Structure 1
Amino acid sequence: MFVKYLAFSGRVVGLNPVVEDDHLLSGEPCIYVLNHQSCIDVTGVGDIWPKRCSVVSKASLRFMGFLGIVMWLSKTISIDRSHHTDAISAMEKAAIEAKQDKVSVFIFPEGTRSDAGYLLPFKKGAFHMAIECQFPIQPIVIEPYAKFLDHKKKLFKSATYKVKVLPKIDTKGMNKSQVDQLLNETREKMVAAFEMMKGTISN
């Protein structure tokens, strides 16, 4: 509900995401992984946000006014990366609850946002969770915001941009020893899609 509201708010200020290949979306519980460029990322996936879904976010965002309230109401999984043991425990607990309740989870595997024009290295949490739950990975790539958002100059203009759904990656039968394999496969596919959308490689 609140994500839908944020998506609507994005359109009010001129953000018009166009979802490509949404027929590839898994109808089953899954771990959605997205590239992370800005706090506006969530407005791009509002139209495809499933009814039963949570999101993993850094704990410090809980104290950011309205956003913190939204996170609390939407049962966001808060991770404090400065306390490694606590972060692992939080992810393990989230995996158990997601599996029991059959709830999908949205995760930004880069762990932090980047407007550098490329994807940062992925952290392993999303892939541990996917294998623990035996949920498929559902990669989603948002095209670079460079054409309408400049963080350094604090410039923003209305724009239509692409949100691309990639084929899901099955985890059935995978175990913890295959976390790196799953991470690498997912990142390679997301990087290829991002570069294609950026126009740095040809079709």
Structure 2
Amino acid sequence: MNKTTVVAKRELLYIPPFGLCAYLCGLVFIDRYATDKAKNTMNQAMERLKRNNIKLWIFPEGTRRNTGAIHEFKKGAFNVAVQAQVPIIPVVISSYTTFLDKKLKIFESSEIIIEALPEISTKGLSHNDINQLMQKSRKLMIEKYNENTQEILMKNSHKIMKEKSYNIQETLSSTTH
């Protein structure tokens, strides 16, 4: 996949130096608050990407919230895929709770699983099929997310138990003083 780009919210364009670098790398920036403008940007981008055989990464949840769940999908990615009649290749990333310390707001060493699922064809689908396509994609991704997250949690159970033990000890020591 040497020809890949990503859809990002337009606000990121204005974060120096990230925005300039991302722009020069060909990221597709959309204005999430101007639906018609975002659709137009996506349609133009899709035509250019199809012509140049470039893959497009879209995060169908929009802004990710670290709640341990896959949230409802937005329709944009599915509208574009159906309109362009290109397949969807769901990519699932397991939970990153094993290496993200929320309290200290730091990353620690650990593992995650990133898995590409079989492609979902959009050939012959129309605008009327988008909700069903979204539900099918989301269901497959949730199943794989849960499976891969369980695997990661099992591999890191010693670390999680150590962390819980540390939190219990910290709580006990603060209540005895």
TM-score range, shorter chain: 0.7 to 0.9
What whole-Å deviation, never above 9, does each CA across 1:99-120 have from its counterpart, x for those lacking one? 3333210001001012110011
Partner of residue 78, structure 1: 29
Q: How many residues get paired?
A: 151
Asked whether 1:180 is paired with 2:131, we answer yes
| Larger CA deviation: 55-64 vs 79-88 | 79-88
**Cα-Cα RMSD:** 1.6
SS in structure 2 of the partner of residue 137 of structure 1: coil
Q: Which residue of 2 aligns with 1:9?
A: none
Deviation at 1:136, TM superposition (A): 0.7
Considering fraction of residues, name the structure with more helix. 2
State the match for 2:121 in structure 1.
Answer: 170
TM-score if structure 1 supplies the norm length?
0.70
Corresponding position: 1:113 with 2:64: yes
Of the candidates 45, 64, 73, which is equivalent to residue 15 of structure 2?
A: 64
Larger deviation, residues 169-178 vs 145-154: 145-154
Q: CA deviation at 1:163?
A: 0.6
1:157 and 2:103 are equivalent in the alignment? no
Q: Could you tell me how far apart the structure 2 residues matched to 1:167 and 1:184 are? A: 16
Please say if residues 95 and 132 of structure 1, whose CA atoms lie closer than 8 Å, have aligned partners that are also in contact. no
Higher relative contact order (CA 8 A, sep 6+): 1
Q: Residue 135 of structure 1: SS of its match in structure 2?
A: coil
CA contact (8 A) 1:135 1:171 kept: yes
Q: TM-score scaled to structure 2, two decimals?
A: 0.79
Give the counterpart letter for 2:114 in structure 1: V
Contact 2:98 2:111 in 1 (8 A): no
Partner Cα separation in structure 1 for residue 103 and residue 63 of structure 2: 17
Aligned-partner Cα distance in 1 for 2:101–2:53? 38
Distance, in Å, in 1 between the alignment partners of 2:112 and 2:54 is 28
Match of 1:138, SS state, is coil
Choose which of 76, 79, 83 in structure 2 pairs with 1:132. Answer: 83
Query: Which moved further from structure 2: 97-106 or 178-187?
Result: 97-106
**Aligned-pair identity (%):** 34
Gaps of at least 5 residues in structure 2 are 152-177
SS at match of 1:190: helix
Query: Relative to 1, partners in 2 of residues 1:111 and 1:152: Cα closer, same or farther, differing over 3 Å?
Result: farther
Structure 1 counterpart SS, 2:90: strand
* Alpha-carbon shift at residue 152 of structure 1 (Å): 5.0
Q: Which runs of 5+ in 1 are unaligned?
A: 1-49
Q: Which has the higher strand share?
A: 1
Cα distance, 1:173 vs structure 2: 1.3
Cα distance in structure 1, aligned partners of 2:147 and 2:126: 31
Taking the aligned partners of 2:15 and 2:84, their CA distance within structure 1 comes to: 31
